[in-house]
Protein backbone atom coordinates (compact mmCIF):
# COMPACT_ATOMS: atom_id res chain seq x y z
CA UNK A 1 0.00 0.00 0.00
CA UNK A 2 1.53 3.35 -1.03
CA UNK A 3 1.93 6.36 1.28
CA UNK A 4 -1.14 8.20 -0.06
CA UNK A 5 -3.34 5.19 0.58
CA UNK A 6 -1.90 4.75 4.08
CA UNK A 7 -2.61 8.37 5.02
CA UNK A 8 -6.17 8.16 3.71
CA UNK A 9 -6.89 4.90 5.50
CA UNK A 10 -5.36 6.19 8.76
CA UNK A 11 -7.58 9.26 8.66
CA UNK A 12 -10.70 7.20 8.17
CA UNK A 13 -9.68 4.77 10.94
CA UNK A 14 -9.26 7.66 13.36
CA UNK A 15 -12.72 8.93 12.46
CA UNK A 16 -14.10 5.43 12.79
CA UNK A 17 -12.62 5.05 16.25
CA UNK A 18 -14.61 8.10 17.34
CA UNK A 19 -17.93 6.63 16.21
CA UNK A 20 -20.47 5.97 18.91
CA UNK A 21 -23.26 4.16 17.09
CA UNK A 22 -23.56 0.99 15.05
CA UNK A 23 -24.98 3.01 12.13
CA UNK A 24 -22.03 5.34 12.21
CA UNK A 25 -19.63 2.37 12.18
CA UNK A 26 -21.30 0.74 9.17
CA UNK A 27 -21.42 4.02 7.25
CA UNK A 28 -17.81 4.79 7.94
CA UNK A 29 -16.72 1.24 7.08
CA UNK A 30 -18.38 1.57 3.66
CA UNK A 31 -16.70 4.91 3.15
CA UNK A 32 -13.37 3.38 4.17
CA UNK A 33 -13.67 0.55 1.63
CA UNK A 34 -14.63 2.96 -1.17
CA UNK A 35 -11.80 5.31 -0.34
CA UNK A 36 -9.22 2.50 -0.26
CA UNK A 37 -10.33 1.33 -3.70
CA UNK A 38 -10.23 4.87 -5.06
CA UNK A 39 -6.76 5.58 -3.69
CA UNK A 40 -5.33 2.29 -4.91
CA UNK A 41 -6.44 2.96 -8.49
CA UNK A 42 -5.35 6.60 -8.61
CA UNK A 43 -2.32 7.01 -10.86
CA UNK A 44 -1.98 3.27 -11.42
CA UNK A 45 -2.93 3.50 -15.14
CA UNK A 46 -4.83 0.96 -17.22
CA UNK A 47 -3.25 -2.52 -17.29
CA UNK A 48 -2.85 -3.99 -20.79
CA UNK A 49 -2.76 -7.64 -21.79
CA UNK A 50 -0.44 -8.57 -24.68
CA UNK A 51 -1.27 -11.14 -27.35
CA UNK A 52 0.04 -12.19 -30.77
CA UNK A 53 -2.47 -12.33 -33.63
CA UNK A 54 -0.61 -11.74 -36.91
CA UNK A 55 1.02 -8.90 -34.98
CA UNK A 56 1.56 -7.60 -31.47
CA UNK A 57 -1.71 -6.51 -29.82
CA UNK A 58 -2.40 -4.89 -26.45
CA UNK A 59 -5.85 -4.73 -24.88
CA UNK A 60 -7.24 -3.50 -21.58
CA UNK A 61 -9.47 -5.83 -19.61
CA UNK A 62 -12.59 -3.76 -20.33
CA UNK A 63 -11.65 -3.25 -23.99
CA UNK A 64 -11.55 0.55 -23.69
CA UNK A 65 -7.94 0.63 -24.92
CA UNK A 66 -6.74 -1.50 -27.85
CA UNK A 67 -3.34 -1.03 -29.49
CA UNK A 68 -1.41 -2.73 -32.25
CA UNK A 69 2.29 -2.40 -33.02
CA UNK A 70 2.88 -3.23 -36.68
CA UNK A 71 5.72 -3.26 -39.18
CA UNK A 72 6.86 -4.64 -42.51
CA UNK A 73 10.07 -5.31 -44.40
CA UNK A 74 10.39 -5.93 -48.15
CA UNK A 75 13.83 -6.47 -49.69
CA UNK A 76 14.02 -6.68 -53.50
CA UNK A 77 16.63 -8.02 -55.91
CA UNK A 78 16.40 -7.53 -59.69
CA UNK A 79 18.35 -8.36 -62.85
CA UNK A 80 17.67 -6.99 -66.36
CA UNK A 81 18.24 -7.70 -70.03
CA UNK A 82 17.06 -4.81 -72.23
CA UNK A 83 17.27 -4.13 -75.96
CA UNK A 84 19.84 -1.51 -76.92
CA UNK A 85 17.13 0.71 -78.39
CA UNK A 86 15.28 0.69 -75.07
CA UNK A 87 18.35 1.71 -73.10
CA UNK A 88 18.95 4.53 -75.59
CA UNK A 89 15.38 5.75 -75.10
CA UNK A 90 14.95 5.42 -71.32
CA UNK A 91 18.41 4.86 -69.81
CA UNK A 92 20.42 1.99 -68.39
CA UNK A 93 18.89 -0.99 -66.59
CA UNK A 94 21.28 -1.60 -63.69
CA UNK A 95 20.79 -4.82 -61.73
CA UNK A 96 20.74 -4.35 -57.99
CA UNK A 97 18.94 -4.58 -54.70
CA UNK A 98 16.79 -2.21 -52.66
CA UNK A 99 14.65 -2.16 -49.56
CA UNK A 100 11.25 -1.59 -51.14
CA UNK A 101 9.56 -0.89 -47.84
CA UNK A 102 10.52 -0.72 -44.19
CA UNK A 103 7.70 0.56 -42.02
CA UNK A 104 6.66 0.86 -38.39
CA UNK A 105 3.19 1.75 -37.20
CA UNK A 106 1.19 2.10 -34.00
CA UNK A 107 -2.59 2.16 -34.19
CA UNK A 108 -5.67 1.23 -32.25
CA UNK A 109 -8.76 2.52 -30.52
CA UNK A 110 -9.33 4.50 -27.33
CA UNK A 111 -12.50 4.68 -25.25
CA UNK A 112 -14.60 2.74 -27.76
CA UNK A 113 -15.13 5.34 -30.51
CA UNK A 114 -11.76 7.03 -31.08
CA UNK A 115 -9.36 5.40 -33.56
CA UNK A 116 -5.86 6.44 -34.59
CA UNK A 117 -2.82 5.35 -36.56
CA UNK A 118 0.75 6.61 -36.85
CA UNK A 119 2.91 5.05 -39.59
CA UNK A 120 6.43 5.87 -40.78
CA UNK A 121 8.40 4.76 -43.84
CA UNK A 122 12.08 4.17 -43.09
CA UNK A 123 13.32 2.50 -46.28
CA UNK A 124 13.52 5.53 -48.58
CA UNK A 125 16.44 7.17 -46.78
CA UNK A 126 14.32 9.85 -45.12
CA UNK A 127 11.59 9.23 -42.56
CA UNK A 128 8.20 9.84 -44.16
CA UNK A 129 4.67 9.99 -42.79
CA UNK A 130 2.32 7.43 -44.32
CA UNK A 131 -1.10 6.52 -42.89
CA UNK A 132 -1.34 8.87 -39.91
CA UNK A 133 -4.77 9.98 -38.70
CA UNK A 134 -7.23 10.30 -35.85
CA UNK A 135 -10.86 9.34 -36.31
CA UNK A 136 -14.23 8.48 -34.87
CA UNK A 137 -16.03 5.23 -35.62
CA UNK A 138 -19.61 4.03 -35.21
CA UNK A 139 -21.03 7.43 -36.16
CA UNK A 140 -24.74 6.99 -37.02
CA UNK A 141 -25.33 6.85 -40.80
CA UNK A 142 -21.72 7.86 -41.57
CA UNK A 143 -19.74 4.98 -40.08
CA UNK A 144 -16.12 6.12 -39.68
CA UNK A 145 -14.70 9.63 -40.02
CA UNK A 146 -10.94 10.12 -40.19
CA UNK A 147 -8.82 13.27 -40.36
CA UNK A 148 -5.14 13.17 -41.25
CA UNK A 149 -3.00 11.47 -43.89
CA UNK A 150 -4.39 8.40 -45.65
CA UNK A 151 -4.80 6.67 -48.99
CA UNK A 152 -7.27 8.24 -51.37
CA UNK A 153 -10.43 6.17 -51.83
CA UNK A 154 -9.51 4.80 -55.23
CA UNK A 155 -8.48 1.42 -56.72
CA UNK A 156 -8.69 -2.08 -55.27
CA UNK A 157 -4.93 -2.55 -55.58
CA UNK A 158 -4.17 0.77 -53.91
CA UNK A 159 -6.42 0.21 -50.90
CA UNK A 160 -5.48 -3.45 -50.39
CA UNK A 161 -2.23 -3.53 -48.43
CA UNK A 162 0.89 -4.25 -50.50
CA UNK A 163 1.70 -7.18 -48.19
CA UNK A 164 -1.40 -8.91 -49.62
CA UNK A 165 -0.71 -8.36 -53.35
CA UNK A 166 -0.16 -11.29 -55.68
CA UNK A 167 2.81 -9.60 -57.38
CA UNK A 168 5.79 -7.59 -56.21
CA UNK A 169 4.39 -4.41 -57.79
CA UNK A 170 0.95 -3.16 -58.73
CA UNK A 171 -0.17 -3.25 -62.36
CA UNK A 172 0.91 -0.46 -64.73
CA UNK A 173 -2.39 1.39 -64.33
CA UNK A 174 -1.39 2.18 -60.73
CA UNK A 175 0.59 5.06 -62.26
CA UNK A 176 -2.56 7.17 -61.82
CA UNK A 177 -2.61 6.59 -58.05
CA UNK A 178 -1.17 9.39 -55.91
CA UNK A 179 -1.46 7.38 -52.69
CA UNK A 180 -1.20 9.41 -49.46
CA UNK A 181 -2.73 12.85 -49.01
CA UNK A 182 -3.91 15.02 -46.11
CA UNK A 183 -7.60 15.55 -45.60
CA UNK A 184 -10.87 14.18 -44.27
CA UNK A 185 -12.47 10.89 -45.24
CA UNK A 186 -15.75 9.14 -44.45
CA UNK A 187 -16.41 5.46 -45.11
CA UNK A 188 -18.94 2.83 -44.10
CA UNK A 189 -20.08 -0.73 -44.76
CA UNK A 190 -23.81 -1.27 -45.40
CA UNK A 191 -26.26 -4.06 -46.18
CA UNK A 192 -24.69 -6.44 -43.68
CA UNK A 193 -21.25 -6.02 -45.20
CA UNK A 194 -22.39 -6.62 -48.77
CA UNK A 195 -21.49 -3.07 -49.87
CA UNK A 196 -19.24 -0.17 -48.92
CA UNK A 197 -19.02 3.51 -49.76
CA UNK A 198 -16.34 6.11 -49.13
CA UNK A 199 -15.77 9.79 -49.89
CA UNK A 200 -12.75 11.97 -49.19
CA UNK A 201 -11.47 15.52 -49.67
CA UNK A 202 -7.68 15.67 -49.69
CA UNK A 203 -4.71 17.81 -50.59
CA UNK A 204 -1.40 16.56 -51.94
CA UNK A 205 1.59 17.28 -49.69
CA UNK A 206 5.27 16.51 -49.40
CA UNK A 207 6.60 13.44 -47.60
CA UNK A 208 6.28 15.16 -44.22
CA UNK A 209 2.62 16.02 -44.80
CA UNK A 210 3.21 19.74 -45.45
CA UNK A 211 1.94 21.91 -48.29
CA UNK A 212 2.18 25.63 -48.99
CA UNK A 213 0.28 25.54 -52.28
CA UNK A 214 -3.27 26.72 -52.93
CA UNK A 215 -3.73 24.07 -55.62
CA UNK A 216 -3.88 20.28 -55.91
CA UNK A 217 -7.16 19.73 -54.12
CA UNK A 218 -8.65 16.28 -54.73
CA UNK A 219 -12.09 14.79 -54.14
CA UNK A 220 -12.43 11.00 -54.27
CA UNK A 221 -15.34 8.56 -53.99
CA UNK A 222 -15.59 4.76 -54.14
CA UNK A 223 -18.38 2.19 -53.91
CA UNK A 224 -18.08 -1.60 -53.78
CA UNK A 225 -20.35 -4.60 -53.49
CA UNK A 226 -19.88 -8.30 -52.84
CA UNK A 227 -22.92 -9.91 -54.53
CA UNK A 228 -21.50 -13.38 -53.83
CA UNK A 229 -19.90 -14.43 -50.54
CA UNK A 230 -20.30 -18.09 -49.61
CA UNK A 231 -18.48 -21.13 -48.26
CA UNK A 232 -16.97 -19.17 -45.34
CA UNK A 233 -15.27 -16.80 -47.74
CA UNK A 234 -13.80 -19.41 -50.10
CA UNK A 235 -16.08 -18.17 -52.88
CA UNK A 236 -16.78 -14.49 -53.44
CA UNK A 237 -17.20 -11.82 -56.12
CA UNK A 238 -16.15 -8.17 -55.77
CA UNK A 239 -17.36 -5.27 -57.95
CA UNK A 240 -16.29 -1.69 -57.47
CA UNK A 241 -16.09 1.76 -59.05
CA UNK A 242 -14.25 4.92 -58.03
CA UNK A 243 -13.59 8.44 -59.22
CA UNK A 244 -11.26 11.32 -58.36
CA UNK A 245 -11.31 14.94 -59.44
CA UNK A 246 -7.90 16.56 -59.16
CA UNK A 247 -6.76 20.16 -59.31
CA UNK A 248 -3.04 19.77 -60.12
CA UNK A 249 -0.21 21.71 -58.53
CA UNK A 250 0.66 24.90 -60.44
CA UNK A 251 -1.78 23.82 -63.18
CA UNK A 252 0.55 21.05 -64.37
CA UNK A 253 -0.18 17.31 -64.44
CA UNK A 254 2.21 14.43 -65.05
CA UNK A 255 2.09 10.62 -65.09
CA UNK A 256 5.07 8.24 -65.21
CA UNK A 257 5.73 4.55 -64.63
CA UNK A 258 8.46 1.95 -64.25
CA UNK A 259 7.91 -1.53 -65.73
CA UNK A 260 6.58 -3.08 -62.48
CA UNK A 261 10.00 -3.06 -60.82
CA UNK A 262 11.17 -0.45 -58.32
CA UNK A 263 14.80 -0.98 -59.41
CA UNK A 264 14.10 -0.41 -63.14
CA UNK A 265 14.19 3.07 -64.71
CA UNK A 266 11.07 5.00 -65.69
CA UNK A 267 9.96 3.82 -69.14
CA UNK A 268 6.95 6.05 -69.89
CA UNK A 269 6.27 9.63 -68.81
CA UNK A 270 4.10 12.50 -69.98
CA UNK A 271 6.31 15.13 -68.38
CA UNK A 272 4.54 18.27 -67.10
CA UNK A 273 1.33 18.88 -69.08
CA UNK A 274 -0.52 22.21 -68.64
CA UNK A 275 -3.82 21.26 -67.03
CA UNK A 276 -6.27 22.80 -64.59
CA UNK A 277 -8.35 19.65 -63.97
CA UNK A 278 -8.08 15.87 -64.18
CA UNK A 279 -11.07 13.52 -63.91
CA UNK A 280 -10.11 9.94 -63.09
CA UNK A 281 -12.49 6.97 -63.30
CA UNK A 282 -11.77 3.35 -62.40
CA UNK A 283 -13.70 0.08 -62.28
CA UNK A 284 -12.76 -3.05 -60.30
CA UNK A 285 -13.50 -6.76 -60.51
CA UNK A 286 -12.24 -9.67 -58.45
CA UNK A 287 -13.51 -13.17 -57.83
CA UNK A 288 -12.29 -16.20 -55.91
CA UNK A 289 -13.55 -19.77 -56.12
CA UNK A 290 -11.50 -21.97 -53.84
CA UNK A 291 -7.81 -21.74 -54.82
CA UNK A 292 -8.50 -19.82 -58.07
CA UNK A 293 -8.61 -16.01 -58.33
CA UNK A 294 -9.38 -13.58 -61.15
CA UNK A 295 -8.83 -9.84 -60.83
CA UNK A 296 -8.94 -6.82 -63.16
CA UNK A 297 -9.01 -3.03 -63.06
CA UNK A 298 -9.43 -0.35 -65.73
CA UNK A 299 -8.58 3.33 -65.32
CA UNK A 300 -9.07 6.40 -67.49
CA UNK A 301 -7.81 9.91 -66.84
CA UNK A 302 -9.43 12.77 -68.76
CA UNK A 303 -6.90 15.60 -68.63
CA UNK A 304 -8.31 19.06 -69.34
CA UNK A 305 -5.52 20.82 -71.22
CA UNK A 306 -4.68 24.48 -70.78
CA UNK A 307 -3.17 26.58 -73.56
CA UNK A 308 0.10 28.34 -72.75
CA UNK A 309 2.87 30.07 -74.72
CA UNK A 310 4.72 26.76 -75.01
CA UNK A 311 1.66 24.55 -75.37
CA UNK A 312 -0.65 25.73 -78.14
CA UNK A 313 -3.54 23.37 -77.48
CA UNK A 314 -6.84 23.78 -75.69
CA UNK A 315 -8.98 20.67 -75.22
CA UNK A 316 -8.54 17.37 -73.41
CA UNK A 317 -6.52 14.17 -73.57
CA UNK A 318 -7.56 10.70 -72.46
CA UNK A 319 -4.89 8.57 -70.82
CA UNK A 320 -5.59 5.07 -69.56
CA UNK A 321 -4.49 1.67 -68.43
CA UNK A 322 -5.67 -1.71 -67.20
CA UNK A 323 -4.52 -5.08 -65.92
CA UNK A 324 -5.93 -8.61 -65.89
CA UNK A 325 -4.62 -11.11 -63.35
CA UNK A 326 -5.19 -14.81 -62.59
CA UNK A 327 -3.81 -16.76 -59.65
CA UNK A 328 -4.01 -20.29 -58.27
CA UNK A 329 -2.93 -21.79 -54.93
CA UNK A 330 -1.25 -25.11 -55.61
CA UNK A 331 -1.63 -26.08 -51.95
CA UNK A 332 -5.38 -25.38 -51.74
CA UNK A 333 -5.56 -22.05 -49.88
CA UNK A 334 -7.78 -19.17 -51.00
CA UNK A 335 -7.58 -15.42 -51.17
CA UNK A 336 -9.38 -13.70 -48.30
CA UNK A 337 -11.70 -10.71 -48.63
CA UNK A 338 -12.67 -7.98 -46.15
CA UNK A 339 -16.30 -7.03 -46.76
CA UNK A 340 -16.10 -4.05 -44.39
CA UNK A 341 -13.56 -2.29 -46.62
CA UNK A 342 -13.93 -3.97 -50.02
CA UNK A 343 -10.27 -5.04 -50.02
CA UNK A 344 -8.12 -8.17 -49.82
CA UNK A 345 -6.96 -9.75 -46.58
CA UNK A 346 -4.16 -11.98 -45.34
CA UNK A 347 -3.38 -15.39 -46.82
CA UNK A 348 -3.12 -18.16 -44.23
CA UNK A 349 -1.34 -21.39 -45.21
CA UNK A 350 -3.21 -24.54 -44.30
CA UNK A 351 0.10 -25.84 -42.95
CA UNK A 352 2.93 -23.49 -42.03
CA UNK A 353 6.35 -24.40 -43.34
CA UNK A 354 8.28 -26.77 -41.07
CA UNK A 355 11.68 -28.27 -41.75
CA UNK A 356 11.70 -31.98 -42.40
CA UNK A 357 8.72 -32.00 -44.74
CA UNK A 358 6.02 -31.64 -42.07
CA UNK A 359 4.64 -28.46 -43.66
CA UNK A 360 5.03 -26.90 -47.09
CA UNK A 361 3.49 -23.50 -46.42
CA UNK A 362 1.30 -22.08 -49.21
CA UNK A 363 2.41 -21.99 -52.86
CA UNK A 364 0.74 -19.71 -55.42
CA UNK A 365 1.31 -19.18 -59.15
CA UNK A 366 0.01 -16.07 -60.92
CA UNK A 367 0.04 -14.41 -64.34
CA UNK A 368 -0.82 -10.83 -65.26
CA UNK A 369 -1.07 -8.66 -68.36
CA UNK A 370 -1.14 -4.89 -67.99
CA UNK A 371 -0.99 -1.81 -70.20
CA UNK A 372 -0.44 1.90 -69.72
CA UNK A 373 -1.21 4.23 -72.63
CA UNK A 374 0.02 7.80 -72.12
CA UNK A 375 -0.29 8.78 -75.78
CA UNK A 376 -3.16 11.02 -76.88
CA UNK A 377 -2.27 13.95 -79.09
CA UNK A 378 -0.78 16.33 -78.10
CA UNK A 379 0.38 14.30 -75.06
CA UNK A 380 3.21 11.92 -75.99
CA UNK A 381 4.07 9.92 -72.88
CA UNK A 382 4.57 6.46 -74.36
CA UNK A 383 2.71 3.14 -74.46
CA UNK A 384 3.96 0.27 -72.27
CA UNK A 385 2.78 -3.35 -72.12
CA UNK A 386 3.83 -5.85 -69.46
CA UNK A 387 3.40 -9.61 -69.15
CA UNK A 388 4.29 -10.99 -65.71
CA UNK A 389 4.58 -14.48 -64.23
CA UNK A 390 4.83 -14.82 -60.46
CA UNK A 391 5.53 -17.49 -57.85
CA UNK A 392 4.72 -16.90 -54.17
CA UNK A 393 5.78 -19.02 -51.22
CA UNK A 394 4.00 -18.23 -47.95
CA UNK A 395 5.99 -19.86 -45.16
CA UNK A 396 3.39 -18.69 -42.62
CA UNK A 397 0.86 -15.83 -42.42
CA UNK A 398 3.65 -13.29 -41.82
CA UNK A 399 6.52 -14.44 -44.08
CA UNK A 400 6.65 -14.72 -47.86
CA UNK A 401 9.21 -15.11 -50.65
CA UNK A 402 8.27 -13.89 -54.14
CA UNK A 403 9.71 -14.31 -57.63
CA UNK A 404 8.50 -12.37 -60.72
CA UNK A 405 9.50 -12.52 -64.35
CA UNK A 406 8.40 -9.42 -66.28
CA UNK A 407 8.48 -8.92 -70.04
CA UNK A 408 8.13 -5.19 -70.73
CA UNK A 409 7.34 -4.01 -74.27
CA UNK A 410 7.77 -0.29 -75.00
CA UNK A 411 5.92 0.65 -78.18
CA UNK A 412 8.16 1.82 -81.03
CA UNK A 413 11.25 0.98 -78.98
CA UNK A 414 11.81 -2.61 -77.79
CA UNK A 415 11.68 -5.06 -74.91
CA UNK A 416 13.18 -5.42 -71.45
CA UNK A 417 13.27 -8.68 -69.49
CA UNK A 418 13.21 -8.49 -65.69
CA UNK A 419 13.81 -11.26 -63.15
CA UNK A 420 13.26 -10.10 -59.59
CA UNK A 421 12.76 -11.60 -56.13
CA UNK A 422 11.53 -10.34 -52.76
CA UNK A 423 11.87 -11.39 -49.14
CA UNK A 424 8.95 -10.11 -47.06
CA UNK A 425 8.02 -10.14 -43.39
CA UNK A 426 5.31 -8.23 -41.57
CA UNK A 427 3.66 -8.19 -38.17
Considering 25-29, 113-117, 310-314, the range whose residues carry the highest mean pLDDT is 113-117
Q: What angle do CA 152, 153, 155 make, to 5 degrees?
A: 105
As a whole number, the mean pLDDT across the chain is 91
* DSSP state at residue 16: H
pLDDT for 36-81, tens place per residue? 666 555 556 778 999 999 999 999 998 999 999 999 999 999 999 9
Per-residue model confidence (pLDDT) at position 355: 79
With a cut of 80, say whether residue 319 has pLDDT above it. Answer: yes
Q: Report whether 273 contacts 246 (CB < 8 A).
A: no
Label residues 129-160 b or e (16+ Cβ within 10 Å = b). bbbbbebebeeeeebbbbebbbbbbbbbbbbb
Residue 6 has pLDDT above 60, yes or no: no
* Whole-number pLDDT of residue 215: 64
C-alpha to C-alpha distances, 254 to 8, 197, 368, 400, 410, nearest whole angstrom: 70, 28, 25, 34, 19
The residues, any chain, with a CB within 8 Å of residue 284's CB and separated by 6 or more, are 155, 156, 224, 238, 239, 240, 241, 242, 296, 297
Measured on CA atoms in the order 331, 346, 125, 256, is the torsion positive or negative? Answer: positive
Q: Which residues contact 5 (CB under 8 A, 6 or more apart)?
A: 36, 39, 40
Give the whole-angstrom CA distance, residue 273 versus residue 92: 25
3 DSSP assignment: H
Name the band, by pLDDT with cuts 50, 70 and 90, for residue 9. very low
Comparing CA positions, the residue from 420, 74, 89 lying closest to residue 261 is 420
Cα gap 2→39, rounded to integer Å: 9
Q: Give yes or no for a contact between 113 and 136, defined as CB atoms under 8 angstroms apart.
A: yes
| The pLDDT of residue 79 | 98
CATH class (in words) of the domain with range 47-426: mainly beta
> Are 308 and 272 in contact, with CB atoms under 8 Å apart?
no
* pLDDT band at residue 7 using 50, 70 and 90 as cut-offs: very low
The share of the chain scoring above pLDDT 70, in percent, equals: 90
Closest by CA to 404, choosing from 79, 80, 173, 168, is 168
Confidence of residue 309 (pLDDT cuts 50, 70, 90): confident
329 pLDDT band, cuts 50/70/90, is very high
What percent of the chain has a predicted confidence (pLDDT) above 90?
Answer: 76
Is 368 in contact with 323 (CB distance < 8 Å)? Answer: yes
Orientation angle between helical segments 22-41 and 3-17, nearest 10 degrees: 170
Q: Is the pLDDT of residue 5 over 50?
A: no
Q: What is the pLDDT of residues 277-290, one digit of tens each?
A: 999 999 999 999 99
Task: Indicate the pLDDT class of residue 11, thresholds 50, 70 and 90.
Answer: low
User: What is d(CA 133, CA 116) in angstroms, rounded to the nearest whole number?
Assistant: 6
**Which residues lie below 8 Å from residue 234, measured CB to CB, with a gap of 6+?**
288, 289, 290, 334
Give pLDDT tens digits for 116-163. 999 999 987 778 999 999 999 999 999 999 999 999 999 999 999 999
pLDDT in tens, 243-273: 999 998 888 999 999 999 999 999 999 999 9
Q: What b/e sequence results for 59-84 when a residue is b if at least 16 CB atoms lie within 10 Å of its CB, and e otherwise?
A: beeeeebbbbebbbbbbbebebebee
Residue with the bigger pLDDT between 309 and 364: it is 364
Sequence-ordered list of residues with C-beta below 8 angstroms from that of 417, at least 6 positions apart, any chain: 80, 81, 82, 405, 406, 407, 408
Exposure string over 96-105, b if 16+ CB within 10 A, otherwise e: eeeebbebeb
Report the alpha-carbon angle 294-341-151, nearest 5: 95
pLDDT score recorded for residue 42: 58
Mean pLDDT over 291-296 rounds to 98
Q: For residue 233, what is the DSSP state?
A: G
**Contact 252/263 with Cβ under 8 angstroms?**
no
Residue 402 CB coordination number (10 Å): 22
**Three-class DSSP category at 40:** helix
Give 188-242 pLDDT, tens digit per residue: 999 988 999 999 999 988 777 777 666 678 999 999 999 999 999 999 999 999 9
Residue 354 has pLDDT above 80, yes or no: yes
The CA-based angle 172-395-390, given to 5 degrees, is 25
Give the chain's radius of gyration (CA, Å). Answer: 27
CB-count exposure of residue 3 (10 Å: 0-12, 13-18, 19+): exposed
Distance CA 44, CA 49 (A): 15
Residue 193: partners with Cβ closer than 8 Å, 6 or more residues away: 226, 339, 340
Amino acid sequence: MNKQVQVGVLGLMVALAGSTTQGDVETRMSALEARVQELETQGSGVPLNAAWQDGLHFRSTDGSVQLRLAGRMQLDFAGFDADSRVTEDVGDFDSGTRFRRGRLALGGSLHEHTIFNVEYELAAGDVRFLTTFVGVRNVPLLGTIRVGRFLEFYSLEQLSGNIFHGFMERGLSAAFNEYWANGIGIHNAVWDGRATWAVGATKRTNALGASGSNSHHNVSARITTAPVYTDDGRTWVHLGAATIRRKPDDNEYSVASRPESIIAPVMVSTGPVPSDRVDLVGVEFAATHGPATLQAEWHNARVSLRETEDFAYDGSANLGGFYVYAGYFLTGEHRTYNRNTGTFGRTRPRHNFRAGGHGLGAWEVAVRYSELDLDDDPVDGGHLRNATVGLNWYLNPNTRFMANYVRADLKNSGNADILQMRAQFDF
